[in-house]
């Protein structure tokens, strides 16, 4: 999404950098989150994504760049608006609920400017909206982990923030509950039209929740695009590797293409004689019938629900394959595999 005035109703970071001593934690990051959009900021631990969120929230002093919310400068150009005046909602991994307050009082905590009756009314509204209607007078210790997460989300939404900032908010939940709470969260955020920055290290979470994904490494944004485009057309080897398992071969460019064990691939404009890194995901390997494809030996096969993961080899080559669910081939079985060229990526070898 372009950096336009129409997107200014949400969150805009421009040229943001931040150091902790000699370490450059955030390096010239520019991002836009439009109203009603969920942007997943995805990357490994220590890449700078949580620092980026904290700079947006005002929890860290901005050293370089500019932060705008709703078109207004929050930080930069000699201005620094305190966190409590930025109209942002925040949800973190640990929920940070007040144990001595009821669910209703936790939800209403940020509504001190309103009369008591209105605070209670709004707390009950958000409790009901997030399936907590029967718990408004309970204390956090009586709630499940999923219910506590819903209270944290309700508390963040009750002040009607212009921007929602989520930092690994679902990582403490079990997988089945995590999926449910993710879907509920997306529904609420979409219904309210809240611009949302979701920080996560989980590619599935970013792809499940995000309208777009920004992938971060060592303080810099590597790629920003829709989930399907980031997965199908990564712009760097790091992006390809981070989103899922990959197979990799180093080959020389000859005649504008590279010759893989499965056939030729275009070399994506790489120079003649240069070394190329060919990458493909396990699902790019497909079974061929009637002896077509490359004969490969099954080294190991594992059933993973909707698909089978196989480790296969041919001479010194060893690849991972992801095939549809079915009978597991025994170790030593020969399969004939071909390669889907549309699921292959060719980069300059470095």
Report, as an integer, the average pLDDT of 78-89: 93
Q: Interhelix angle for 145-157 vs 116-129, to 10°? A: 130
Q: Interhelix angle for 145-157 vs 175-192, to 10°? A: 20
pLDDT of 3 > 50? The answer is no
pLDDT of 64 > 50? The answer is yes
Q: What is the CATH number of domain 5-242?
A: 3.40.50.300
- Beta carbons within 10 angstroms of residue 141's beta carbon: 8
pLDDT of 17 > 60? The answer is yes
Report, as an integer, the average pLDDT of 321-344: 94
Dihedral sign of CA atoms 261, 263, 267, 268 in order:
negative
Report, as an integer, the average pLDDT of 318-322: 97
pLDDT of 301 > 60? The answer is yes
Q: Distances in Å between the alpha carbon of 8 and those of 38, 161, 188, 207, 298?
A: 14, 15, 21, 24, 54
Report, as an integer, the average pLDDT of 53-61: 96
Residue percentage of the chain with pLDDT more than 70: 97
Q: Which one-letter DSSP state was computed for residue 134?
A: G
pLDDT of 45 > 90? The answer is yes
Contact 76, 67 (CB under 8 A): yes
Distance of alpha carbon 246 from alpha carbon 46, whole angstroms = 22
Domain-wise residue ranges, the chain: 5-242, 245-348
- The pLDDT, as a whole number, for residue 9 is 61
Distance of alpha carbon 298 from alpha carbon 313, whole angstroms = 7
Task: Report the DSSP beta bridge partners of residue 324.
Answer: 307
Distance of alpha carbon 88 from alpha carbon 327, whole angstroms = 51
- Cα 122 → chain centroid: 31
Task: Give tens-digit pLDDT for 147-177.
Answer: 999 999 999 999 999 999 999 988 878 878 8
Distance of alpha carbon 132 from alpha carbon 112, whole angstroms = 21
- Quote the radius of gyration of the chain (alpha carbons, Å): 24
Distance of alpha carbon 225 from alpha carbon 199, whole angstroms = 15
Contact 104, 136 (CB under 8 A): yes
């Amino acid at each position: 999404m372009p950096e336009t005035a129409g997107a200014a109703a949400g969150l805009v970071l421009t040229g943001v950098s931040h150091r902790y001593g000699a370490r450059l934690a955030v390096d010239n990051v520019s991002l836009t989150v439009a109203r009603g959009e969920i942007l997943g900021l995805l990357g490994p631990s220590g890449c700078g994504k949580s620092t980026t969120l904290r700079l947006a929230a005002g929890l860290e002093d901005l050293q370089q760049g500019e932060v705008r919310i709703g078109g207004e400068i929050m930080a930069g150009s000699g201005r620094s608006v305190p966190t409590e005046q930025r109209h942002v909602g925040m949800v973190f991994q640990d929920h940070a609920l007040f144990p001595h307050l009821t669910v209703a009082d936790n939800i209403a905590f940020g509504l001190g400017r309103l009369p008591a009756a209105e605070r209670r009314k709004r707390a009950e509204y958000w409790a009901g909206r997030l399936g907590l209607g029967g718990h408004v007078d309970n204390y956090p210790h009586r709630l499940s982990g999923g219910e506590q997460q819903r209270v944290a989300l309700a508390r963040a939404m009750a002040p009607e923030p212009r921007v929602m900032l989520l930092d690994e908010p679902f990582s403490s939940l079990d997988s089945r509950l995590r999926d449910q709470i993710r879907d509920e969260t997306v529904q609420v955020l979409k219904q309210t039209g809240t611009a949302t920055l979701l920080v996560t290290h989980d590619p599935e979470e970013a792809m499940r929740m995000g309208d777009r994904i920004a992938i971060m490494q060592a303080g810099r944004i590597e790629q920003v695009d829709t989930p399907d485009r980031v997965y199908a057309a990564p712009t760097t080897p790091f992006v390809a590797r981070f989103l899922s398992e990959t197979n990799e071969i180093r080959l020389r460019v000859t005649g504008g293409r590279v010759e893989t064990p499965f056939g030729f691939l275009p070399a994506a404009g790489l120079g003649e004689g240069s070394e190329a890194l060919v990458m493909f995901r396990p699902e790019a390997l497909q079974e061929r019938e009637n002896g077509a494809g490359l004969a490969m030996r099954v080294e190991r096969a594992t059933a993973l629900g909707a698909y089978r993961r196989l480790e296969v080899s041919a001479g010194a080559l060893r690849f991972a394959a992801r095939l549809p669910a079915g009978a597991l081939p025994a170790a030593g079985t020969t399969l004939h595999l071909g390669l889907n060229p549309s699921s292959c990526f060719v980069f300059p070898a470095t």
